[in-house]
Chains A and B, each alone.
Chain A
């Protein structure tokens, strides 16, 4: 089974499923060129009405015969999965839909404790799909509460302090990047676009294969020459076995210091013991990340 945790939502899927579309608030999974699962989510303020959401879905998909499901129509495994979610505090309402080509089963989910509202649906092609859908639904988790929020995607996992919000991400062959942003003033969360104003960027990267990238170059030189957020020459890099670290001021001047706009940078890049990859965590911005928090973040970042 493969675990995916993304922007506060987690599900565990069969190994053969792979994400074919990743959004800030949604995931689509494929198996053998076929869509198998879609999850969308959002945080809603105040009350949440399942009926309203099902109605909205019905309006948006007039070609699909969409309807709520009564208990006796629901597959047993699906009911068991819903019960498990209910025990963990997540309310759910199931629906089924059918078009000329496809059919599926899904559920609208709501966690009153955090306000998370999610829509999860599975494309059903055969009986096995029903079982896999139920086990995947049962694995649905809301990670939005807590001091640190985990994420896990494409063989990587880490934990970030809850104040950091997902900013951007890209998964290109050989180079994965996941960026988080924490504004200096928590009140600005959601008001200003992510990355604007004073705050801290937190960048996770994975480069591979390390054996090729570091063939004729030291890890410190490679980092300076290649990485987008590499430390400037003025910041010293310390090397310890397969790891490099830095911590310093990337840009400063009298004016910047006066306006509290000096740019701090702190980073660690290391070669993994297994997996032939280079992992890096960089925190940069006008607010330095405390050493202890940065160390915890680095320690949590690993290949799965």
Chain B
């Protein structure tokens, strides 16, 4: 019950910035007013929860879809996630476009990428 969580491996910042975010092919993007984007992505369900939900009739095994509306800056970053730009390059583009400090852009972009990565919307490749 109180088993110590295994520490996740960490990688140096420079290496993390060189990684390339890749879109999940199952994610659908829909344009919404003001040139923004809504992402629809299948929800990853834990097997034990899936079984339980199925037994009590709450789930018919069809993938559950969640939606995420991006703001202007999120849309800007999403459009640069093309399997070619690295995190560093996206942060540099962000710095140029919004005229913010490089470190500030780096933190904003990495936080955004981490959030959508945790939701399974993107993956990262070396």
Pair from one complex: yes
Q: Is B100 an interface residue (CB 8 A)?
A: yes
A211 to B97 Cα, complex, angstroms: 10
When A18-B103, A215-B72 are in contact, do A208 and B98 touch as well, CB less than 8 Å?
yes
| Residues of the B chain whose Cβ atoms lie less than 8 Å from the Cβ of A18 | 103
Interface residues on A, range: 10 to 19
The CA-CA distance from A119 to B111 in the complex, in Å, is 35
A212 touches B103 (CB 8 A): no
Residues of chain B within 8 A (CB-CB) of A173 are 100, 104-105, 107-108, 111
A-B contact count (CB 8 A): 38
B101 part of interface (Cβ distance < 8 Å): yes
Known contacts A32-B14, A33-B12, A212-B73; decide if A174 and B100 are in contact (CB<8 Å): yes
Contact, CB under 8 Å: A275 / B73: no
Question: Which residue of the partner chain A has the closest CB to B100?
Answer: A208
**Given A173-B108, A174-B104; A209-B12 close (CB under 8 Å):** no
Collect the chain A residues with CB atoms within 8 Å of residue B72's CB.
212, 215
Chain B contacts for A274, CB-based, 8 A: 99
Contact assessment for B73 and A208 in the assembled complex, using a CB-CB cutoff below 8 Å: no
Give every chain A residue within 8 A of B103 (Cβ-Cβ). Answer: 18, 154
Is B61 among interface residues, defined by CB-CB distance under 8 A?
A: no
Contact B100 A276 (CB under 8 A): yes
Per-residue interface assignment for chain B, residues 44 to 71, with 1 indicating a CB less than 8 Å from any chain A CB and 0 otherwise: 0000000000000000000000000001
In angstroms, Cα B104 to Cα A154, docked, is: 9
> Of residues 88 to 111 in B, which have CB atoms within 8 Å of A's CB atoms?
98-101, 103-105, 107-108, 111
A275 to B96, CA, bound (A): 10
Please give the distance in Å from B74's CB to the nearest CB on chain A: 11
Please tell me if A155 contacts chain B, counting CB pairs below 8 Å.
Answer: yes
Contacts of B105 in A (CB 8 A): 173
A251-276 contact mask (Cβ, 8 Å, vs B): 1 or 0: 00000000000000000000000111
Whole-angstrom distance between the alpha carbons of A174 and B103 in the complex?
A: 11
A residues sitting closer than 8 Å to B (CB atoms) are: 18, 32-33, 154-155, 173-174, 208-209, 211-212, 215, 274-277
- Pull 22 A–B residue pairs with CB atoms less than 8 Å apart, ordered by A: A18-B103, A32-B14, A33-B12, A33-B13, A33-B14, A154-B101, A154-B103, A173-B104, A173-B105, A173-B107, A173-B111, A174-B100, A174-B104, A174-B108, A208-B99, A208-B104, A212-B98, A215-B72, A274-B99, A275-B99, A276-B100, A277-B99
- Apart from the given pairs A18-B103, A173-B108, A212-B71, 10 other A-B contacts in the complex at a CB distance below 8 Å: A33-B12, A33-B13, A155-B101, A173-B100, A173-B104, A174-B100, A174-B104, A209-B100, A211-B98, A276-B98
